[in-house]
A and B are shown apart, each in its own frame.
Chain A
Amino acid sequence: MKHLTDNTLNEYLDHTSDERSRKSVKDHLNGCDACQTKLEELGKIFAELQIVPEVALKHDLTPGIMTRLNLETPVRIWTRTFAAQAGVASGVLYWLASQLIPFVKIPQVSLSKAVFELQSWFAQLLTIQVSLPTWQIPDIASLLPKFNYQAPTINLPFSTVHVISLTVTVIFLWVVANFILLRSRPQVQR
């Protein structure tokens, strides 16, 4: 006679075997003391595990958990609203830039001339003579390279009214944007 395997006994106690195999296990157990004993030994574990009670929690974990949630949950900046706002903003910026660029006049700068000026400036640095007894502060201003630098100019007929209204608009937008940012907390990711 073939004895019941550990697997069969475990599945029998877990009630996972189908009716037919349960019936054949029962039949075997009725006629086999060895398997009956094994089953009882295994059954004891089930009973012993049952006696482990739920213990009482000493203190409320909620405050600690809520603090950790706010610290550890990654903030999702890229919300749909934020993406839409960023899209509008970059569109406006692009339009503004494309409007302004044709008016910007970049002065011609000769690269070789700039390099030459830099070289001669280094050469001058090398020739600094320091006479120790009578210490003199070298004339630094004369040592600095002399670039004929011209700032780019915007050929727009700006009037005072233009400048003032532009400044007011920028300040207004800045205040509104800050208000929006401070009012709606970024949504947290789950």
Chain B
Amino acid sequence: MSSVPEGDLARRAASGDQEAFAEIVRLHQQAVFNVAYRYFGNVKDAEDAAQDAFVRAYQFFDRFDVNRPLAPWLKRITVNVCLNIINADKPTASLDDDLPPPKDPKPGPEAQTATRQRERRMRAEIVGLPPRYRAVIELRHFQELSYTEIASALKRSQSDIKSDLFRARKLLAERLIDLKHETSD
């Protein structure tokens, strides 16, 4: 996509170059949007949150170590922005009726419908979790951070993070079992 190394882009953006920042947005908007989409489950709120996340990233760019990769940093900011939106009691919509198409669609129409149903159910379960649980599930399972990294990203203690994460998984497991009973009845 771009021949400019990411470090150079980051350095230029850090010195206030808006063109460089625009390029960073173009490169990372997909990933940032998906973090927010997993959190809210609807395009409108996810797009708003993605925008907020980039504006925040721009304002705090001097705190970013330009020698490190941008994506993890941007995605961590997005999780915090999503949490802030929820904590500010901004009204958010529910899960989309029609999920947007996957970025890399797999071939085969039949397999697709079945997978889409499973995906939809899983998204609904994530969106149905309490905000804090959503954040830890996102950071552990989708961004693959360690407990320590999650704790520092959310500015909470590691034992809090572990207890939230384990409870979130327990909740998800219970709901998925319920669903299995419903579908087999």
Complex Cα gap A7–B37 (Å): 29
Say yes or no: is A139 at the interface (Cβ < 8 Å to chain B). no
Say yes or no: is B123 at the interface (Cβ < 8 Å to chain A). yes
How many chain A residues sit at the interface, stated as a range, is 35 or more
Say yes or no: is A131 at the interface (Cβ < 8 Å to chain B). no
Task: Identify the stretch in B4-12, B77-85, B86-94, B170-178 within 8 Å (CB) of chain A at 4 or more residues.
Answer: B170-178
Give chain B interface residues in 115-147, CB to chain A under 8 Å. Answer: 115, 118-119, 122-123, 126, 137, 140-142, 146-147
- Partner of A62 from the list B29, B59, B142 (CB cut-off 8 Å) is B29
As a 0/1 sequence over residues 1 to 35 of chain A, the CB contacts with chain B under 8 angstroms (1 = contact) are 00000110011001010000000000000000000
Write out the residue numbers on chain A whose beta carbons fall within 8 Å of the beta carbon of B51.
61, 64-65, 68
Whether A57 and B29, one on each chain, are in contact in the complex, defined by CB atoms closer than 8 angstroms, is: yes
Whether B137 and A65, one on each chain, are in contact in the complex, defined by CB atoms closer than 8 angstroms, is: no
Say yes or no: is A69 at the interface (Cβ < 8 Å to chain B). yes
Contact surface of A with B, Cβ cutoff 8 Å: 6-7, 10-11, 14, 16, 41-42, 44-46, 48-49, 51-58, 60-62, 64-66, 68-69, 72-73, 187-190
Contact surface of B with A, Cβ cutoff 8 Å: 14, 16, 18, 21-22, 25-26, 29-31, 33-34, 37-38, 43, 47, 50-51, 54-55, 58-62, 99-104, 115, 118-119, 122-123, 126, 137, 140-142, 146-147, 162, 165-166, 169-170, 172-173, 176-177
